[in-house]
Amino acid sequence: NAGVTQTPKFQVLKTGQSMTLQCAQDMNHNSMYWYRQDPGMGLRLIYYSASEGTTDKGEVPNGYNVSRLNKREFSLRLESAAPSQTSVYFCASRSGTSVNNEQFFGPGTRLTVL
């Protein structure tokens, strides 16, 4: 099993450009998440999808959209990138069958917006 995979690993954008970060998991998990990590801030939840067909806002959703394409895939879109969105983005998934299931994280995407 590959676990949680993310593409791309690195990306540089200019202000105003758009892009989509891809995430896929092969563990048949129900729930998927997008976090951003900034220095000194820990990880903050952007959006999550508790199950296929549902998405909900997290702590910092502004400037982002998400799509739960199917049970495996959960993408994050930046419609008009801003320098404040320079960050490392992590996707995670969770089985959801029990309250004590852990989240499994992907390797991250390092995004720089100039």
* Shortest Cβ 15–another protein spacing (Å): 26
Distance CA 61, CA 58 (A): 6
Closer by beta carbon to another protein, 37 or else 65? 37
* Shortest Cβ 102–another protein spacing (Å): 5
Sign of the CA dihedral running 108, 103, 66, 87: negative
Closer by beta carbon to another protein, 17 or else 67? 67
Instruction: Look at the chain and count its residues.
Output: 114
DSSP 30: S
* Residues 84, 20 contacting (CB under 8 angstroms): no
* Shortest Cβ 92–another protein spacing (Å): 8
The site for another protein (CB under 8 A) is made up of 4, 30-31, 33, 35, 40-45, 48, 50-51, 56, 58, 90, 92, 94, 96, 99-100, 102-108
